[in-house]
């Protein structure tokens, strides 16, 4: 039996992980707490840790896990910006779930967009109180508008299809444009200037951190709708708030937030929110915040559990090769992944 310490466990995680784990000889020990320096010792006597987006897997945590005999970090998500993969190299193997349901995230982005521009969130609250007034609910047609997509990977492309389904014109920016994809690629500046709706679908890296900042917002159309279902720190939230206050940004839909780690995923109603910036954003009539919910569909949860268990199983099986290993051997994680035919180290 492979023993795995599962951090930041939520009620919705357990059924699928318990099922796939017991079918495949992987025993999960669920901890509600997040992984960090203070909790790393909980993984003592475990073969692997299973972590999510807001667990802290920095150099100190990695050293602690390594000293405790842990051999693997199994991310149950795609993004790995919270893991120091470079430091893990030679110590702990890192695996992730590259795709579980890109549809879940793209469809959530679409849900946020429609909710926002057709004021569904306002109408829902009104009619529950038998307020049938339409004042202030005027929206706009998506048909004929321009969607600017940043990041044309799995999720970005599905969102492009959805936008096209609405009759939108689509332009895109990607650091690595997909050849022969039929996507009209433009520069980031041109995307900012031409888009009515901007949706972020690229990873968080040193290059993309705060890519939506005050300079970028200054280049955008007045009334632009900004969607972020990717990672919070792609947006400088202070600059976004200023853009909203200045009436430059028409609406913002945020499934992620830079400082979400200590806030999202928990019931904080009845508490005073210590994050002034988030509180101010949420108070805006044209901002919708969901708490990193875009992935949360039944299909995605099953795929996440199945792939994570397969990742762990294939690593601990005798040849130890796992297609979803994130390797820092050649200094470029994405390239390493494509070219590697053996264990990272």
Binding of ligand NAI by 227 (CB under 6 A): no
Q: Which two tokens stand for residue 55?
A: 């667990």
Instruction: Considering only the stretches 83-91, 151-159, 245-253, 262-270, report the one whose residues sit in contact with ligand NAI under the rule CB under 6 A.
Output: 151-159
Catalytic residue among 107, 260, 306, 325: 260
Task: Report the nearest approach of ligand NAI to the CB of residue 229 (Å).
Answer: 5
* Sign (positive or negative) of CA dihedral 49, 332, 53, 21: negative
Task: Output 70 or 170, the one with its CB closest to ligand NAI.
Answer: 170
Query: In the range 230-249, which residues lie near ligand NAI by CB under 6 A?
Result: 230-231
Binding of ligand NAI by 174 (CB under 6 A): yes
Closest alpha carbon to 312 in 8, 25, 19: 25
Length of the chain, in residues: 345
Binding of ligand NAI by 256 (CB under 6 A): yes
Task: Report the nearest approach of ligand NAI to the CB of residue 76 (Å).
Answer: 11
Query: In the range 273-302, which residues lie near ligand NAI by CB under 6 A?
Result: 292, 294-295
Strand partners, 148: 171, 198
Q: Which two tokens stand for residue 124?
A: 């829902």
Task: Report the nearest approach of ligand NAI to the CB of residue 228 (Å).
Answer: 9
Catalytic residue among 64, 87, 108, 292: 292
Binding of ligand NAI by 203 (CB under 6 A): yes
Phi and psi (nearest 5°) for 160?
A: -60, -45
Binding of ligand NAI by 152 (CB under 6 A): yes
Site track 34-73 with ligand NAI (rule: CB under 6 A), x = hit: ----------------------------------------
Binding residues for ligand NAI, total number by CB under 6 A: 30
Binding of ligand NAI by 151 (CB under 6 A): yes
Determine whether 64 is an active site residue.
no
Which residues lie near ligand NAI (CB under 6 A)?
78-79, 99, 102, 105, 150-156, 173-176, 201-203, 205, 207-208, 229-231, 255-256, 292, 294-295
Q: Which residues are catalytic?
A: 231, 260, 292
């Amino acid at each position: 039996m492979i023993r795995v310490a599962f951090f930041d466990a939520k009620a919705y995680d357990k059924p699928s992980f318990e099922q796939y784990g017991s079918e495949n000889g992987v025993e999960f020990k669920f901890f509600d707490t997040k992984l960090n320096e203070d909790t790393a010792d909980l993984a003592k006597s475990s073969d692997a840790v299973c972590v999510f987006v807001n667990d802290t897997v920095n150099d100190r945590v990695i050293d602690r896990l390594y000293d405790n005999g842990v051999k693997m970090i199994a991310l149950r998500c795609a993004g790995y910006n919270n893991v120091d993969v470079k430091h893990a190299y030679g110590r702990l193997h890192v695996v992730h779930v590259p795709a579980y349901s890109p549809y879940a995230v793209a469809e959530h982005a679409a849900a946020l967009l429609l909710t926002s521009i057709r004021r569904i969130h306002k109408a829902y609250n009104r009619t529950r109180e038998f307020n049938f007034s339409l004042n202030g609910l005027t929206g706009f047609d998506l048909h004929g508008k321009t969607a600017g997509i940043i990041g044309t990977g799995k999720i970005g492309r599905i969102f492009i299809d959805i936008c096209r389904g609405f009759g939108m014109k689509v332009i895109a920016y990607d650091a690595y444009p997909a050849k022969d994809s039929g996507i009209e690629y433009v520069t980031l500046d041109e995307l900012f200037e031409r888009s009515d709706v901007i949706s972020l679908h690229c990873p968080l890296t040193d290059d993309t951190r705060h890519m939506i900042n005050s300079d970028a917002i200054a280049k955008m159309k007045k009334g632009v709708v900004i969607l972020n279902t990717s990672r919070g720190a792609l947006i400088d939230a202070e600059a976004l708030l200023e853009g909203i206050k200045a009436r430059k940004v028409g609406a913002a839909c945020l499934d992620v937030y830079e400082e979400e780690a200590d806030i999202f995923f928990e019931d904080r109603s009845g508490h005073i929110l210590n994050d002034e910036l988030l509180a101010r954003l949420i108070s805006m009539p044209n901002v919708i915040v969901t708490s990193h919910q875009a992935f949360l569909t039944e299909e995605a949860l099953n795929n996440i559990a199945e792939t994570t268990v397969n990742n762990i199983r294939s690593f601990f099986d005798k040849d130890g090769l796992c297609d979803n290993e994130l390797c820092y051997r050649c200094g470029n994680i994405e390239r390493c992944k494509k070219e590697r035919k053996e264990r990272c180290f």
